[in-house]
Amino acid sequence: MPKNAWLSAAVAGLAAATLTTVAPAAAQPVDADARATVAGTVPAWATPPSRTGEANDQSVRQIQVALSLRDPASAHTLATRLASPNNPERGNFLTSRQFLDRFAPTEAAVNSVRDWLTGQGVSVQEVSSNRFMVKAHAPTSVLEKAFGTQLATYRDKVADRITTLVAPETPISVPTALRTSITAVLGLDDSEKTILPQHTTPHATAQAQTCARWWGEQNNRDVPQKYPAGAQSNFLCGYTGPSVRAMYGLNPGQSGAGTTIGIVGAYDSTTLGPDINRAAADTKTPGLAAGQYSKVLPDGGFTDEKECDSGSWNVEQTLDVQAAHTIAPAAELRYYAARSCIGGLYEAFNKAVGDNVADVISASWGNADGERRMPPATRDLFNQMALQASIQGQSIMVSSGDAGNNSGAVGTPTASFPATSPYVTAVGGTTVGLGQDNKPKVLTGWENSGSTLTGQKWVPQSDADGPFAGGAGGGPSALYDAPEWQQGIVPASVSNGRRAIPDVAALADSYTGLLIGYTDTSGRYGLSVSGGTSLAAPLMAGLAANAQQARGGTQRGGLLNPALYALRDAPSVLVDVVPQKAGVWTPVMHALPGAKVPGAAGSYLVDFDARPQNLASGRGWDPVTGVGTPGPAFVSSLAR
């Protein structure tokens, strides 16, 4: 395979609409009658059989017209050189200004697009700082005419719930003179509605006395003991800060001082700061210092709160911030909020990249039903944003997903996007049972099977994907070729020459998860255990911040994957995770919203890393934990 095989899909999509020369800043005249199609702008779920009607002509839609990079192939080559451990250019990242001058869309291209939109009756609001997005709005009928398509409604299943989504019936078109500038138009379809936060929580309220503070502290002897002594425990109450820091061998001086962690999500928990400070004593983590936590909120406020379950996104925000703060308690924390789950997540992510304030960016969300849910042109836009981040030295952590191989929802195994993007670190999950001394009694991959106590026997639960009861996403991409740093490491039998996820793993299983403090939408504050690869991603973000601190605080890490794969053979740096026969008793099942596990209180057993689908941990790289989970020498080694 060619050395830069991973150029093929990621860069080919970006290069399909690229500018190769720098034009003057003046907008060029546009012939609106000569049209060119923008391929990849109809989502896979928008099929004739699922069509239910026409979209409301008068409804106003927010859109983001995405502009293409100049010379994406050179941008990719530069990002590779900057990330390669043995390259003399490693770490010589560009400033935002340098990136703009070298790779961003030209001002002339932006002005031409803006003038054309205005001439079509579309109201232009603003242009992003990196010139990637022109934000605008207009009634559906105006947008249909401008982009040469018809918008229709479609019935589709999102996270096992039937919903109505809007999408173009045919690929959009734009004036031929603008085709080399416009690469996608977000907001003409509702694909972002298929993006969900990747956290798991208890389905029902469990009695506090049934949980164990450490592995084996409590073990329900009234139920059959499937595992020998020491290998079965009640589910854990939730780890506090000292336990999680001990899990990764951190010392008090490893605090992320001098760094900034960016977190991208939807909506905003207005009680987050007070909640973390209120929970500080119980979770044994420092409170937030004045000014340590800041947020970037969308203009115009939030929309679609009920339809998007904004409360779930608020839990996600709380989990992300608290997890990152636990690992890097002195790092600045900056939250970028999307206005809605239906639109705005990519805009918020682009804001985090364009601002270039965050050294590490954590995104604990992904497509609920596999990587093909997002239109190809929209995926290309994300890769373009992530590529800029890599060139600026920003490290991106993305959760690999909480539905394993997604076969329960999709019917066949498929990986999730944006975890499969070649420009991010995909973070998988582990199950960790620490003893009272904070030493691991259990360490295995997060792929759970569920059983229900029936007549004093454990009866496996069953759904479309069998007894699967939550687990990290993983497997090969169907879209992107294997990057050079995975070649020869990921088994060819798994990857088939494709990008495979995850790259690395951290604590994710909510049965052995993190204790967080949170005020719900009714105003009630409480402590609860939470998990998912939504936990793993910000934990890894905190570790990356600690590594930057060890470099002096200002030297960023950029795309971490080449360095991670180079460190895989040192057990003190990356622990190779393998299956371990163990499990927990629990009175309530934990899962993503909409997951098919029992929702009522009862008596259940959760088997760890039991290959309920086709994923399990194993020697070397595996599709649950990647090259492994951080060991005590991880931060110091990554800092080199």
Domain ranges within the chain, ordered by starting residue: 7-74+105-195
pTM of structure: 0.94
Average pLDDT of the chain, as a whole number: 91
Per-residue pLDDT at 203: 55
Q: What are phi and psi of 561, to 5 degrees?
A: -60, -45
Which of 324-333, 362-371, 408-417 reaches the highest mean pLDDT?
Answer: 324-333
Per-residue pLDDT at 625: 98
Per-residue pLDDT at 181: 95
455-468: per-residue pLDDT in tens? Answer: 999 999 988 778 99
Mean pLDDT lowest for which of 81-95, 151-165, 239-253?
A: 151-165
Per-residue pLDDT at 521: 84
> Do 69 and 103 meet the contact criterion of CB atoms below 8 Å apart?
yes
Mean pLDDT lowest for which of 132-141, 318-327, 368-377, 415-424?
A: 368-377
pLDDT (mean) for 34-41: 93
Mean pLDDT lowest for which of 141-145, 159-163, 571-575?
A: 159-163
282-322: per-residue pLDDT in tens? Answer: 999 999 999 999 999 998 899 988 888 888 899 999 999 99
Per-residue pLDDT at 21: 35
CA distance 580 to 230: 12
Per-residue pLDDT at 215: 97
> Do 336 and 350 meet the contact criterion of CB atoms below 8 Å apart?
no
User: In 3D, which of 374, 372, 300, 376 has the Cα closest to residue 338?
Assistant: 300
CA atoms within 13 A on the CB side of 298: 25
pLDDT (mean) for 247-252: 97
Instruction: Identify residue 512 by its one-letter amino acid code.
Output: T
DSSP-H helix ranges across 84-120: 96-102, 107-119
326-338: per-residue pLDDT in tens? Answer: 999 999 999 999 9
CA distance 226 to 607: 9
DSSP 120-138: TT-EEEEE-TTSSEEEEEE
CA distances (Å), origin 69, targets 12, 104, 125: 12, 5, 21
